[in-house]
Amino acid sequence: MIAKTVKPPYYAVIFSSLKTLADNGYLEMADSMMELAKRQAGFLGVESARNEVGITVSYWESIDAIKKWQAHPAHQIAQERGKENWYEKYAVRICKVESDYYFEK
């Protein structure tokens, strides 16, 4: 699903990753983090796709909201488990969205 966001400006966090072959609770943790993120102040929406490379883009009202999400204790645990078990490599990019537009039939 394509996220419906607020009028710009807002922020996007782009998480690109290459997974290891191990699952070890990955799907459960990913689902849990998605549900937790949705309940955070400043969260606007999320889009995610995985093939060889996984890309998840979450949208936030402010940099402060992103920092609070990054520092959330449950998210910190997920980040550590990701480094230990699930990811070969990943990159996080934070962008300010200054303009957007949608098309829908």
Whether 103 is in a domain gets the answer no
What local confidence, expressed as pLDDT, does residue 1 receive? Answer: 84
DSSP per-residue letters across 73-94: HHHHHHHHHIIIIIEEEEEEEE
In a domain, 45, yes or no: yes
Please check whether residue 79 lies inside any domain of the structure: yes
Within a domain: 27: yes
- Asked if residue 14 has pLDDT above 90, the reply is yes
CA distances from 73 to 8, 76, 87, 98 (A): 29, 5, 20, 30
2 falls within a domain: no
Which residue segment(s) compose the domain that 44 sits in? 10-97
Q: What percent of the chain has pLDDT over 70?
A: 100
In one-letter notation, the amino acid at residue 94 is: I
Q: What is the pLDDT of residues 49-62, one digit of tens each?
A: 999 999 999 999 99
Domains: count for the chain: 1
Residue 104 lies in a domain: no
